[in-house]
Amino acid sequence: MDTAQDTTAYAPEHPARLAWTEHAPEVYKAMVRLDIAARQGLDPRLLELVKIRASQLNHCAFCLDMHTKDA
């Protein structure tokens, strides 16, 4: 299974806001690689807390909702 499938499969209850795979496939692949690298050596709960805080700082209600549910 390729990496893009792994990332989109982990949270199917969160519909995509933008079709990154269609509109900017290289950007999407880079985001997937960044996510994989960020997961290395971190407790998954801590990683979600970091994502929650980033979502708060960015004022992104969609991401805040998604990461709160994933935490």
pTM as predicted: 0.60
Q: Which residues are within 8 A (CB) of 36 and not within 5 positions of it... i.e. 6 or more apart?
A: 3
Q: pLDDT value at position 3? A: 47
Domain-embedded: residue 57? yes
Max Cα–Cα distance, the chain, nearest Å: 34
Domain-embedded: residue 27? no
Count the domains in the chain. Answer: 1
Render each residue's pLDDT in the chain as its tens digit; 71 residues.
Answer: 444 445 545 555 666 677 778 889 999 899 899 989 988 988 989 999 999 999 999 999 988 998 898 88
Q: pLDDT value at position 59? A: 92
Range of the domain at 70: 42-71
Q: pLDDT value at position 1? A: 41
